[in-house]
Structure 1
Amino acid sequence: MAGDRASVQLHFRGHFTGQFQNVRGDGQTVDFQAFDLYRVKGGQIVENWHLEDNLTLLKQLGMVKP
Structure 2
Amino acid sequence: MGIEENKAVVMRAYLDGMNRRDMGVIRECFAPDYVNHFPAGQGEVRGIEDFTRTLGEFLDAFDDLVFTVDDILGEGEKVTLRWSAVGVHTGEYRGIPPTTVIPPTGRTVSFSATDIYRVVGGRVVEEWNTLDGWDIMHQMGAVKKAVPATA
Question: Normalising by the residue count of structure 1, what TM-score does the alignment of the two structures yield?
Answer: 0.76
Task: List gaps (5 residues or longer) in structure 2.
Answer: 1-73, 94-100, 146-151
**Matched residues in 2 for 1:25 and 1:44: separation?**
34
Instruction: Return 4-13 or 39-48, whichever deviates more.
Output: 39-48
Match of 1:5 in 2: 78
Asked if residue 50 in structure 1 is aligned to residue 50 in structure 2, the reply is no
Alignment of 1:1-66 (within 5 A): 1-20=74-93, 21=101, 23-66=102-145
Q: What is the aligned-residue identity percentage?
A: 35
**Matched residues in 2 for 1:49 and 1:26: separation?**
29
Task: List gaps (5 residues or longer) in structure 1.
Answer: none
Moved over 6 A (4+): none
1:2-61 Cα shifts (integer Å, max 9, x gaps):
12210111211011122332x433321100112221112233222222110212101011
- Structure 1 residue identity aligned to 2:135: T
Structure 1 residues 62 and 11: alpha-carbon distance in aligned structure 2, compared to 1, 3 A threshold = same
Point out the structure with the larger strand share. Answer: 1
Aligned length: 65
Point out the structure with the larger helix share. Answer: 2
What is the RMSD computed on CA atoms of the aligned residues? 1.7
Higher relative contact order (CA 8 A, sep 6+): 1
